[in-house]
């Protein structure tokens, strides 16, 4: 009798284990199907698979919550996505980078198709979730989106964040240009010039014309504010760059003005003579002014 009871108990244990294995297998299959749907960007099917699983089990596994989060991100339902991701992070910190990457990648997708607000929300969530993932391309897109929104301060911040992490030379060059254009629009010639100079240090020489233009504007601003030594230093740096013929005459004339006010008569004469050498490109008004300055300094114009 006792032997019979032990046999019955053993059978029940085996059946229970088989039942659990079967349930576990079905759960994993459902999760695999949901993940396959996500890979194909079929968010509705992924949601259907996960909802069927929810009805079959008493408690969802952590992986299911993670896939729910990704699914709701795909469906642009960020509150639901966040709820499921928070459940995941509360149970297993190993998912933190994966969750952050899900937010980042969805933000990149949304930003590229013009969903600006949702993209920025995704990026903010990615940044809050983990600081270990590569956000460089996301920072570039955040700069572009905030610039379109008219939030120039934030745009500048994220362009600079991108430049702290970007490695690709081509992408860095394009990001520098976006930042410089934004700084030019903001109207601070000093910031624009210094950013262009930083870019030039990285050998992005196609920005030479911007470097010269921004250097000219910055030196002119310093001259008007009476900061003659700083203005002269900027002009000296700009004159070391091979200048466009269409720009050299203006820059040399400004250099002459700065040196004249700074008491460097010979330096001023040299600069004004350079303007006259470039008379093919210089405007008649600029030539006349250079001749007047030379006469004032007791020098004959060629």
Q: Which pLDDT score, from 0 to 100, does residue 12 have?
A: 47
Mean pLDDT, rounded, of the chain: 88
Q: Which pLDDT score, from 0 to 100, does residue 6 have?
A: 52
Q: Residue 249 — pLDDT band, cuts 50, 70, 90?
A: confident
Say what percent of the chain tops pLDDT 90: 69
Q: Which pLDDT score, from 0 to 100, does residue 76 have?
A: 96
For residues 219-246, average pLDDT: 88
Is the per-residue pLDDT at 18 higher than 50?
A: no
- Residue-wise pLDDT for 21-57, tens only, equals 444 578 888 899 999 999 999 999 999 999 999 998 8
Q: Which of 186, 185, 209, 187 is nearest to 196 (CA)?
A: 209
Is the per-residue pLDDT at 75 higher than 90?
A: yes
For residues 72-100, average pLDDT: 96
More confident residue, 169 or 17: 169
More confident residue, 5 or 198: 198
For residues 255-283, average pLDDT: 86
Task: Give me the residue spans of the domains in the chain.
Answer: 26-113
Is the per-residue pLDDT at 20 higher than 50?
A: no
Is the per-residue pLDDT at 71 higher than 90?
A: yes
Instruction: Give the DSSP H or E segment for 298.
Output: none
Q: Residue 204 — pLDDT band, cuts 50, 70, 90?
A: confident
For residues 123-142, average pLDDT: 95
- Measured CA to CA, the distance from residue 276 to residue 298 in angstroms comes to 16
DSSP 8-state code for residue 267: H
Is the per-residue pLDDT at 161 higher than 90?
A: yes
More confident residue, 7 or 117: 117
- Measured CA to CA, the distance from residue 96 to residue 69 in angstroms comes to 13
- Record the tokens describing residue 12, joined without a space: 């029940």
Is the per-residue pLDDT at 14 higher than 50?
A: no
CB atoms within 10 A of CB 21: 10
- Measured CA to CA, the distance from residue 195 to residue 158 in angstroms comes to 14
For residues 258-285, average pLDDT: 85
Q: Which pLDDT score, from 0 to 100, does residue 229 have?
A: 94
To which residue do tokens 């009476």 refer?
226
Q: Residue 11 — pLDDT band, cuts 50, 70, 90?
A: very low
For residues 65-91, average pLDDT: 96
Length of the chain: 302
Is the per-residue pLDDT at 193 higher than 60?
A: yes
For residues 234-262, average pLDDT: 86
Q: Which pLDDT score, from 0 to 100, does residue 182 have?
A: 96
Q: Which pLDDT score, from 0 to 100, does residue 58 have?
A: 87
Q: Which residues of 163-180 are buried (b: 16+ CB within 10 A; e: fewer)?
A: beebeeeeebbebbbbbb
């Amino acid at each position: 009798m006792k032997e019979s009871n032990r046999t019955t108990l053993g059978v029940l244990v085996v059946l229970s284990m088989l039942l659990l294995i079967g349930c576990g297998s079905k759960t994993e299959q459902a999760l695999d199907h949901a993940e396959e749907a996500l890979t194909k960007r079929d968010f509705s099917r992924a949601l259907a698979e996960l909802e069927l699983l929810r009805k079959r089990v008493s408690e969802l596994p952590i992986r299911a919550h993670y896939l729910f989060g990704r699914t709701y991100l795909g469906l642009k339902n960020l509150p639901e996505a966040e709820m499921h991701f928070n459940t995941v992070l509360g149970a297993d910190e190993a998912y933190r980078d994966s969750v952050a990457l899900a937010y980042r990648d969805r933000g990149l997708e949304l930003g590229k198709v013009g969903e600006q607000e949702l993209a920025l929300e995704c990026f903010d969530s990615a940044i809050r979730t983990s600081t270990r993932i590569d956000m460089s391309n996301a920072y570039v897109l955040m700069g572009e989106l905030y610039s379109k929104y008219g939030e120039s301060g934030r745009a500048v911040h994220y362009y600079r964040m991108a430049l702290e992490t970007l490695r690709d030379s081509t992408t860095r060059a394009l990001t520098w240009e976006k930042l410089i254009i934004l700084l030019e629009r903001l109207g601070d010639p000093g910031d624009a010039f210094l950013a262009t100079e930083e870019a030039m240090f990285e050998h992005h020489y196609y920005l030479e014309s911007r470097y010269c233009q921004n250097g000219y504007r910055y030196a002119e601003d310093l001259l008007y504010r009476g900061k003659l030594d700083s203005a002269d230093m900027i002009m000296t740096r700009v004159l070391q760059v091979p200048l466009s013929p269409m720009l050299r005459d203006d820059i040399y004339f400004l250099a002459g003005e700065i040196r004249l006010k700074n008491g460097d008569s010979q330096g001023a004469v040299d600069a004004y003579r350079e303007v006259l050498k470039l008379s093919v490109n210089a405007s008649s008004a600029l030539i006349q002014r250079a001749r007047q300055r030379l006469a004032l300094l007791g020098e004959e114009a060629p």
